[in-house]
Amino acid sequence: MPGFILRRALLVLPSLFGLLVVCFLLIRLIPADPAVALAGDNATPAQIEAIRRSYGLDQPLPVQFGRYLMDVARLDFGTSQFSGRAVAEDLAQRLPATLELTVAALLLGVGLGIPLGVLAAVHHNRWPDFLLRVVSVAGIAVAAFWLAIMLQMLFAMRLGWLPLRGQISAGVTPPAGPTGFLTLDCLLAGRLDLLADALRHLVLPAVTLSLGGLATITRFTRAGVLDTLQKDFVTYERAVGYPRGRLIWLYVLRNSVVATVTQIGLLFGGLMAGAVVVESIYDWPGIGSYTVQAILTADSKVMLAVTLLIGLIYAVVNILTDLVHALIDPRLRETR
Amino acid sequence: MPVPTLAVEDLRVAIRGDEGVARILDHIAFRLEPGRILGVVGESGCGKSTLIRAILGILPQGAAIGSGRILFEGEDLLAFSQAELNRSVRGSRISFIPQDPYLALNPVFTVGAQMLEVMRRHRPGAPREHRAHLVRLLRRVQLPDAEAALDRYPHQFSGGQRQRLLIAAALACAPRLIVADEPTTALDVTTQQQILLLLRELVEEMGLAMLFVTHDLGVVAELCDEVCVIYAGQSVETGPARALLDAPLHPYARALLACHPDRAEGFLGIPGAVPSPLRAPPGCRFAPRCAQAREACASRAPHPRRAAPGRMVDCILHDPAAVPA
Amino acid sequence: MLVLRKFLRDIPAVAGALIVLLVLLLAILGPWIAPYPEDAAASHLLRRLRPPSAAFPFGTDNLGRDILSRVILGARGALTVSLTVVAAAMAIGVPLGLVAGYARGVVPELIMRVTDVFLALPQLILALALAQLLGPSVESAMLALTLTYWPFFTRIVHAETQRLRGALFVDALQGIGASTPRILFLHILPNALSPIIVRATIGLGFTILVAAVLGFLGMGATPPDPDWGLAVAQSRGYLPNAWWFATFPGLAILVAVLGFNLLGDGLRDLVDPRLRRSR
């Protein structure tokens, strides 16, 4: 297994390098003059010139890229223009909140999406299937920012059941560390009251963020189960009297989730991107809201760092996905 | 007369699909006595798999039984609910050997888990005893390394070994009837011979009855006591294997045997094609291709007649009541 | 005909087709259908934030404009963006996919590598960043979305071309000396058309959605354009009292995207025979 992980990790490196090149080129080349774009609308020529020099933009592109690579290798992403702190430091501080949110959304999506997908497949082309198909397509079609506002309006503003925004109530001092994950830290510190508060804050953002993934997981589980139901071994299992419940939920499902697991891997990238919108609406102190601020202030250093970070997370999740595949399907354990 | 293990009477099955209603089975009838092997022979597409599915109660969605009974030891299986079939018929009193051993085992579970899934429902005793029983059976079907086999996955066995596993699984709960769906077609010739020999031995040893579905007349000659020939969903002729193969009475059975490479003088095909069950002609379905067809064949309803001791033929040529031409 | 009958029996797909038709009609005829077409730009401060009524079925917004009219008028912008983006993405992605699937050597390898990298990019963030760097406007939003969407077409066309390259009819065409562009565009492309159409249909919905996000974050349409995403953003200061202000433009996005996705799914089921049969 360790060899397997190492090999997969090495395969990821060229893609990450490609990601660096593309990001770098896009951000440096698209605007006619990045220095002008960076300086803003009211900059004087002298200011633009100063920015050009301070960013090394007067150097040839390969030199700029080489310098950039060196910086990345040292995890030095520069200083954020709007926070005035090191980008790496900002990201490290905010990453746990985003991971907490995305993992919660993913758990919701998997926990509901897989059973719903199975139900749709079992009732193929009958009304539960039609209903779930429409609902799951709607889950992909709904704009997360709008859903977030609707949920806020209903559950926070009108009913007052859940907090409107933030990760924890104002005026409360959360335990500092040791993991940086708020819910986990509250639990470790034995502060169940704070844990409940944090969880209440987590509900709306996680639900909003999960919906797209939930819909995707439902769809792929449905397709996977439909596919498996055509297999000869299912006919055999029915012919020798496997009880229907165990047949579907154990024997068929385990064969069907391989494609779903792949999707979960792919989804994680989408969740990170979705977090950008969801976090900024719910004032969630994670990477997403940070990114929006960076974009609004055209902070290209932060944008590059975030893109790279998401690419990296994406790669790691894909390696994990392959591992889970191998756990589900014994045939994959040997061929690699 | 003893109660037959399996008696299918005037079975008709239609399946509603995208393109209309297909009358897949149109009057199937045969009897299988205890301790005997009945070969059901027909070309691909003649309704063999639908027949098996009807017996096992796993017809696809949209299938409807038009008429008939499937009597298993005197009880009509068509009257059983799915739960009743699972409780007292499938996997216990009737077991099943599938066609393709490469595809019939669930790839992500160990062989033992799959075999025990059925056993623990039908046999008393602890899991450990079940395992011991399975190992004995695996030895009996000559599977090498029977002890370790239960903890391995299907892909770790060869095709012949998997078919032995499936045979052992079929025997696990001491069935009265084994339904075998061309269990040797996916295997190479040598393995095929070994498996057939094993099945013959097991049936005699355990006093079971076996319904053996195949398109291969050679296998029928080697293995079966009785034969039922099916054409386009109709059972056209039934009788003892030896007698039927030596002197087939129905024109289709004759043509089919004439095509068999062992006896054909040169290559003989049957002119025309099997009619689609969507647009099956009324009356005898073989009539459009039959050299001896009469005008009456096109409208004649299925009507099997005793042609000789133990032999039933469904053809106007052997029907004394029909108007001679 | 059998295909059409099959499609008509797929209720969700038919619903999708009807919605798409409706959106198209609104986009074309919007100014003639909308009850207050002048509300695309006008403002009426005397009737601000009126709740839904017979005169204003969806209520009015913070500038007293009829929300129903602005929802109807917004269809044209949304559809223009998505049609332009998908057409441009196809114009880039399809030829690249054909070349990558048909040619041999370094070029196809390079194309697919670049495609993979683009697919791994976080689309929304990239689009946002580009839109910001180019200066927030509908045009830069369209450019940004095109740059993030073409790889999907390359992927599909590449797979189809590779599959068809080995097909007998292509061998035969090569045998009788047909030129490569002729084989690619007249023979392979038509065969790859159905997955392209499915992807384009879903892409139209997806683009409407991402364009709405850009509008919402102030990176797309600019006031006073009747843009659905922008309207939701403008409503945020007036919640929860003016619930209609946020609700109806968002619903418009939902329904439009839903229509394209349902239609795309139905077309996919029609094209992909693997999911047709059922037990």
Strand B234-240 vs strand B305-308: parallel, antiparallel, or unpaired? unpaired
HEC sequence for C167-189: CHHHHHHHHCCCCHHHHHHHHHH
Residues of C in contact with B18 (CB under 8 A): 2, 6, 276
Could you tell me which of B113, B89, B207, B223 has the C-alpha nearest to residue B169? Answer: B113
Chunked in runs of 10, what are the mean pLDDT values of chain A (336 residues)? 70 76 71 61 76 74 82 82 85 90 91 92 86 84 90 88 84 76 82 85 92 87 88 90 89 84 75 86 90 81 81 78 78 62
CB-closest option in C117, C218, C243 to A15: C117
User: Does residue A253 contact residue A118 with C-beta atoms inside 8 Å?
Assistant: yes
Q: What pLDDT score was predicted for residue C279?
A: 26
Contact between A22 and C118 using a beta-carbon 8 Å cutoff: yes
Distance of alpha carbon B200 from alpha carbon B223, whole angstroms: 7
What is Dmax (Cα atoms) for chain C? 76
Measured between CB atoms, does C62 come within 8 Å of chain A?
A: no
Q: At what angle do helices A287-296 and C123-134 cross, to 10 degrees?
A: 20
Tokens representing A223 are 């397709």
Contact between B18 and C6 using a beta-carbon 8 Å cutoff: yes
Residue B57 CB burial class (10 angstroms; 0-12, 13-18, ≥19): buried
User: Does residue B14 contact residue B23 with C-beta atoms inside 8 Å?
Assistant: yes
Q: Nearest-CA residue of chain C relative to A160?
A: C240
User: Does residue C183 contact residue C122 with C-beta atoms inside 8 Å?
Assistant: no
Residues of C in contact with A300 (CB under 8 A): 129, 133
**Phi/psi at B233 (5° precision):** 85, 5
Distance of alpha carbon C61 from alpha carbon C237, whole angstroms: 11
Distance of alpha carbon A110 from alpha carbon A88, whole angstroms: 31
User: Does residue C230 contact residue C78 with C-beta atoms inside 8 Å?
Assistant: no
Could you tell me which of C21, C13, C9, C83 has the C-alpha nearest to residue C268? Answer: C13
The three-state secondary structure class of C166 is coil
Q: What pLDDT score was predicted for residue C112?
A: 84
Query: pLDDT tens-digit profile of C80-113?
Result: 999 999 999 999 999 999 888 888 888 888 888 8
Per-residue pLDDT in tens (0 to 9) along chain B, 325 residues:
678 999 999 899 998 877 788 888 988 999 999 989 999 998 888 888 899 999 999 998 888 888 899 999 999 999 999 999 998 899 889 999 998 888 889 988 999 999 999 888 888 888 889 999 999 999 988 898 888 999 999 999 998 899 999 999 998 888 999 999 988 887 888 888 888 999 999 888 888 999 999 988 888 998 999 999 999 888 899 999 999 998 888 888 888 888 776 655 555 577 777 778 888 778 888 888 888 888 888 887 777 888 888 888 888 888 766 655 4
Contact between B18 and C279 using a beta-carbon 8 Å cutoff: no
Contact between A240 and B104 using a beta-carbon 8 Å cutoff: no
Contact between A330 and B98 using a beta-carbon 8 Å cutoff: no
Distance of alpha carbon B162 from alpha carbon C62, whole angstroms: 73
**Phi/psi at B267 (5° precision):** -85, 125
Distance of alpha carbon A117 from alpha carbon A214, whole angstroms: 10
Reported as type and span, the H/E element at residue B16 is strand B6-17
Give helix then strand counts, H and E, for chain A. 15, 0
Q: Rounded to a whole number, what is the distance in Å from the CA of B181 to chain A's nearest CA?
A: 11
Angle, CA C117 vertex, CA C112 and CA C118 arms, to 5°: 95
Percent of chain C with pLDDT over 70: 97
Measured between CB atoms, does B19 come within 8 Å of chain C?
A: yes
Distance of alpha carbon C160 from alpha carbon C189, whole angstroms: 9
Q: What pTM, to 2 d.p., does this model score?
A: 0.80
Measured between CB atoms, does A233 come within 8 Å of chain B?
A: yes
Superfamily, domain B6-93+176-280 = P-loop containing nucleotide triphosphate hydrolases (3.40.50.300)
Complete DSSP assignment for A248-287? IIIIIHHHHHHHHHHHHHHHHHHHHHHHHHHHHHHT--SH
Contact between B118 and A235 using a beta-carbon 8 Å cutoff: no
Distance of alpha carbon A19 from alpha carbon A24, whole angstroms: 8
Reported as type and span, the H/E element at residue A151 is helix A144-151
User: Does residue C16 contact residue C259 with C-beta atoms inside 8 Å?
Assistant: yes
Q: Give the CATH number of domain A87-335.
A: 1.10.3720.10
Contact between A240 and B85 using a beta-carbon 8 Å cutoff: no
Instruction: State the distance between the two ends of chain C, measured CA to CA, in whole angstroms.
Output: 24
Contact between B18 and C2 using a beta-carbon 8 Å cutoff: yes
**Phi/psi at B231 (5° precision):** -130, 125
Q: What pLDDT score was predicted for residue B324?
A: 52
Query: Domain residue spans in chain B?
Result: 6-93+176-280, 110-174
Contact between A330 and B155 using a beta-carbon 8 Å cutoff: yes
Q: Nearest-CA residue of chain C relative to B58?
A: C279
The three-state secondary structure class of B305 is strand
Contact between A150 and C125 using a beta-carbon 8 Å cutoff: no
Residues of B in contact with C278 (CB under 8 A): 61
Instruction: Tell me the H-state helices in C45-137.
Output: 67-102, 106-120, 123-134
Distance of alpha carbon B183 from alpha carbon A87, whole angstroms: 66
Query: Domain residue spans in chain A?
Result: 87-335
Q: Which of A122, A129, A232, A240 should we substitute to test contact with B (largest number of B Cβ atoms within 10 Å)?
A: A240
Measured between CB atoms, does B44 come within 8 Å of chain C?
A: no
Tokens representing B35 are 């301790």
Q: What pLDDT score was predicted for residue A39?
A: 66
Query: pLDDT tens-digit profile of C37-70?
Result: 887 778 888 888 888 888 888 888 888 888 888 8
Distance of alpha carbon A246 from alpha carbon A251, whole angstroms: 7
The residues, any chain, with a CB within 8 Å of residue A253's CB and separated by 6 or more, are A114, A118, A225
CB-closest option in B18, B19, B61 to C279: B61
Could you tell me which of C82, C10, C211 has the C-alpha nearest to residue C18? Answer: C10
Distance of alpha carbon B213 from alpha carbon B230, whole angstroms: 10
The mean of the pLDDT values for chain C is: 84
| Neighbour tally for A177: CB within 10 Å | 10
Domains of chain C listed by start with CATH number: 10-30+61-275 (1.10.3720.10)
Tokens representing A82 are 């709007």
Q: For the CA atoms of B152, B158, B164, B169, what is the dihedral angle to 10 degrees?
A: 40
Q: Which chains touch C (3 or more CB pairs under 8 A)?
A: A, B
The residues, any chain, with a CB within 8 Å of residue B149's CB and separated by 6 or more, are B111, B112, B138, B143, B157, B165
Distance of alpha carbon B241 from alpha carbon B175, whole angstroms: 24
Amino acid at C189: L
Q: What pLDDT score was predicted for residue B90?
A: 92
